[in-house]
Amino acid sequence: MKRIAFILAIFITGFCKAETGYELWLRYQPIANAQYVNACKQLIRSLEIKGTSPTLRAARSELERGLNGMLRINLPLSHSGSILLGKPENIPAITPAIKEQLSKAGTEGFLIKTITIGGKNRILIAGNTDQALLYGVFHFLRLIQTEQPVRQLDILSVPRSPLRLLNHWDNPDRTIERGYAGFSLWQWNNLPAYIDQRVIDYARANASIGINGTVLTNVNANALILTPEFLQKVKALADVFRVYGIKTFLTARFSAPIEIGGLKTADPLDPAVREWWKKKADSIYQLIPDFGGFLVKANSEGQPGPQDYERTHADGANMLAEALAPHKGIVMWRAFVYSHTSDDRFKQAYEEFKPLDGKFSSNVLVQVKNGPIDFQPREPFSPLFGAMPATPLMMEFQLTQEYLGQSTHLVYQATLYKETLDADTYTNGKGSPVSSTLSGFAGVANIGNDLNWCGHPFAQSNWYALGRLSWDYTLSSETIATEWIKQTFTPQPAFVQPVLKMMMRSRELLVNYMTPLGLTHMMYNDHHYGPMPWGNTLNRPDWNPVYYHKADKAGIGFNRTGSGSNALRQYAAPVQQQFENIDNCPDDYLLWFHHASWDHKMQSGRTLWDELCYRYHTATDSVRAMQQQWKSLQRFVDAERFSHVQQMLAIQASEAAWWRDACLLYFQTFSGKPFPAGYEQPKHDLEYYKDLRIHLTY
């Protein structure tokens, strides 16, 4: 009956405008603030556009769509239009001062500036390429969506990173590895002849946040994508993406020369193999002149690679780089390897790649996950950042919430991204944040063909944040979240403020109800959903939760100091100093680096055991508070999205308690200590949780 009540709740308001979430942050809804609308209308009446190209036509169309939607303005073309869009060489009236500003904009940066021509105020949107103009248009529309003043504008925005990519782990059969939002957007069977409107809208969304590249295929790669038949399909997509300034990349299966090339080997030093890749690259560039290059996962989790032939990662990467170099393509070679034996998985990427620094060709980047293990709710930064000064590095964040509640938990990840980016590597002395060591950004996409693209309505914010941070990693998480909330829901402060608070706390809550105090990797096997801290049945020790927490009667945590695996030594000395002393190691990282006694005194003054209980309980309570908070905001949100978030929060609240009870009951078998007074009792005993079989099917 509760269910029925819910359905009817939908229906009572259901005949008002429903929102599916399909429009993302580009909703362009009529702005309610009449004063703001009037101010805009006085300044925005017509458009002058200099130049013609598909990209400029897309920019114009977006302006028309946005201004028509938000301000009910039809935007006629005019020779002295109030908006002036163009490159400096096409605008005679441009002043030397503006030229000077634009000389700093590079190929992607833009200037939005109120200028006076012939006594008339105009809004100049300028840049040195059509792509930059498109970015300028999207930024201008964002100003209006977020109700910023459009008077006396002077905004010069230049991306801080040249590579701002999505990585899609999409398979040719349209399933998505670790995807929680439906099937792949790429309709291979209907390509190249049919271009789905969704592909165009995907490109618009990316361009609006500055994403300029997309890897279409899964890192666990299928060579099929490199066959002539499929390259025609890729070309069709690339032709769309090009209009929006997005380069197309593919994953290269290392054994493709055998699988689709008819060769007997894929040895990177074999001349026939090298020749095969060169010809393959040539044939790709004939179809896609601006093809971006290859992303490669090699000798990792069963993928083929150069080590199959006793060659190094550099040998493998350089062979592909050689094939791509004449066309200015790049290779992104993933550092996510842990195939050889080591006493600590934490150390393996560093041990394998650090010695290769300086051995990669100039068009190779090494792509490193943010932390040393695998996209856990909280990890210290990967010690590779800053450790390969002679090699350009890419940051790999995971937007799709494999370990962060998948499609059911509300987690805004910009705080996680910023925590990594802002961490000081000290590799060039104090003030060498991870962000300063990077040459590019990649986000493992959380996008599928669900109506709202990303599953959880709030998951869109992580796509948005990845784009905005890749463009400018100095933006704060608050700024990005505020922009996103205003565009995605409403700019009304009574909504924005509480939702901003929810989002800003959300990742910390998740850490605390899943893996607080530096615990990590305690989820179920395979589908990685739900708590299984007792897991110890998989063949490889480092696939098992018990490997990571090492709970015993004495205490809990992984000793990575000099008396343990000494993974800490991979960091610069000042970083080591932050973590190596158990007495001043930050609580949030304690169990990453220390096997601490259950009685260890935390910075809060509590014992480790009591602090563990405190964290699990308060985080769970906070999720319940978030439920109440959302409920109080119903009047601001359409029925569909309100109900979706509400249902998801109910799941999240129940699962936070599940994590709490399963983990605390299990760890209690080691600590032997009672739960502190005043806390909610576990609903079930430990055996109940151990017996739970959670059957996720995709």
Which active-site residues does the annotation give?
A: 301, 374, 402
State how far the Cα of 470 lies from the Cα of 488, in Å rounded to an integer: 20
Q: Residue 689: enclosing H or E segment and its boundaries?
A: helix 686-691
Q: Find the shortest distance in angstroms from Cβ 293 to its own copies.
A: 22
Candidates 4-12, 88-96, 278-286, 664-672: pick the segment binding its own copies (CB under 8 A): 4-12
Residue pair 307/340 in contact by the 8 Å Cβ criterion: no
Minimum CB separation from its own copies for residue 141, in Å? 12
**Amino acid present at 78:** S
Which residues between 18 and 47 bind its own copies (CB under 8 A)? Answer: 18, 20, 22
Closer to its own copies at the Cβ: 224 or 686? Answer: 224
Contact region with its own copies (CB under 8 A), list: 152-160, 364-372, 597-605, 649-657? 649-657
Q: Does 650 bind its own copies (CB under 8 A)?
A: yes
Q: Is 688 in the site for its own copies (CB under 8 A)?
A: no
* Euclidean distance between CA atoms 288 and 255, whole angstroms: 23
Which residue's structure tokens are 């969304």?
A: 205
Task: Please state the φ and ψ torsions of residue 222, each to the nearest 5 degrees.
Answer: -120, 125
Q: Which is nearer to its own copies, 155 or 224 (CB)?
A: 224
Measure the CA–CA gap between 97 and 556, rounded to whole angstroms: 62
CA pair distance 355, 332, nearest whole angstrom: 18
On whether the CB atoms of residues 85 and 132 are closer than 8 A, the answer is no
Among 42, 90, 121, 190, binds its own copies (CB under 8 A): 190
> Nearer Cβ to its own copies, position 198 or 278?
198
State the nearest-atom distance from the C-beta of 69 to its own copies, in Å.
7
Region from 179-187, 361-369, 462-470, 607-615 binding its own copies, contact rule CB under 8 A:
179-187
Query: In this chain, which of 110, 140, 169, 188 binds its own copies, going by CB under 8 A?
Result: 188
Looking at residues 144 to 173 of the shown chain, list those that interact with its own copies (rule: CB under 8 A): 172-173
Judged by CB, which is closer to its own copies: 440, or 530? 530
Site membership for its own copies, residue 12 (CB under 8 A): yes
Give the shortest CB-61-to-its own copies separation in angstroms: 4
Asked if 495 touches its own copies (CB under 8 A), the answer is no
Structure tokens at 120: 């008339």
Q: Provide, rounded to whole angstroms, the least separation between the CB of residue 659 and its own copies.
A: 16
Q: Work out which of 71, 153, 223, 243 binds its own copies, going by CB under 8 A.
A: 243
Q: Alpha-carbon distance 557 to 593, whole Å?
A: 7
Q: Which of 30, 32, 54, 90 contacts its own copies by CB under 8 A?
A: 54
The two structure tokens encoding residue 187: 């309709």
- Please, what is the minimum distance in Å from the beta carbon of residue 196 to its own copies? 8
Compute CA 148 distance to the chain's CA centroid, rounded to the nearest angstrom.
Answer: 26
Question: Nearer to its own copies by C-beta: 285 or 670?
Answer: 285
Residue 438 vs 653, nearer CB to its own copies: 653
For the CB of residue 652, give the shortest distance to its own copies in the complex, in Å: 10
Specify the amino acid at residue 425.
Answer: T
Binding status of residue 640 toward its own copies by CB under 8 A: yes
Q: Does 407 interact with its own copies (rule: CB under 8 A)?
A: yes
> How big is the chain by its Cα radius of gyration, in Å?
26
CB 225 within 8 A of CB 83: no
**How far apart (Å, rounded) are the C-alpha atoms in residues 586 and 16?**
50
Query: Is residue 174 a contact residue for its own copies (CB under 8 A)?
Result: yes
What proportions of the chain, in percent to the nearest 5, are helix, strand and coil? Answer: 45, 10, 45
Q: Residue 453, interface with its own copies (CB under 8 A)?
A: no
Q: Is 693 in the site for its own copies (CB under 8 A)?
A: yes
Give every CB contact of residue 563 below 8 A, 6+ residues apart in sequence: none
Which one, of 108, 112, 99, lies nearest residue 149 by Cα? 112
Binding status of residue 227 toward its own copies by CB under 8 A: yes
Closer of 15 and 635 to its own copies (Cβ): 15
What amino acid is encoded at 4 in this protein?
I
Using an 8 Å Cβ cutoff, are 44 and 151 in contact?
no
Residue 404's nearest CA partner among 451, 441, 456, 369 is 456
Nearer to its own copies, 368 or 648 (CB): 648
Q: Residue 664: name the closest of 673, 655, 653 by CA.
A: 673
Stated as kind and residue range, the H or E segment containing 688 is helix 686-691
Whether residue 161 contacts residue 440, with contact meaning beta carbons closer than 8 Å, is answered with yes
**Residue 573 and residue 421: Cα distance in Å, rounded?**
19
Stretch that binds its own copies, among 137-145, 360-368, 382-390, 401-409 (CB under 8 A): 401-409
State how far the Cα of 365 lies from the Cα of 333, in Å rounded to an integer. Answer: 6
Residues making contact with its own copies (CB under 8 A): 3-4, 6-8, 10-12, 14-15, 18, 20, 22, 54, 57-58, 61, 64-65, 68-69, 172-175, 180, 182-183, 188-190, 193-195, 197-198, 200, 224, 227, 229-230, 236, 239-240, 243, 406-408, 448-451, 529, 640, 643-644, 647-648, 650-651, 654, 693, 695-698
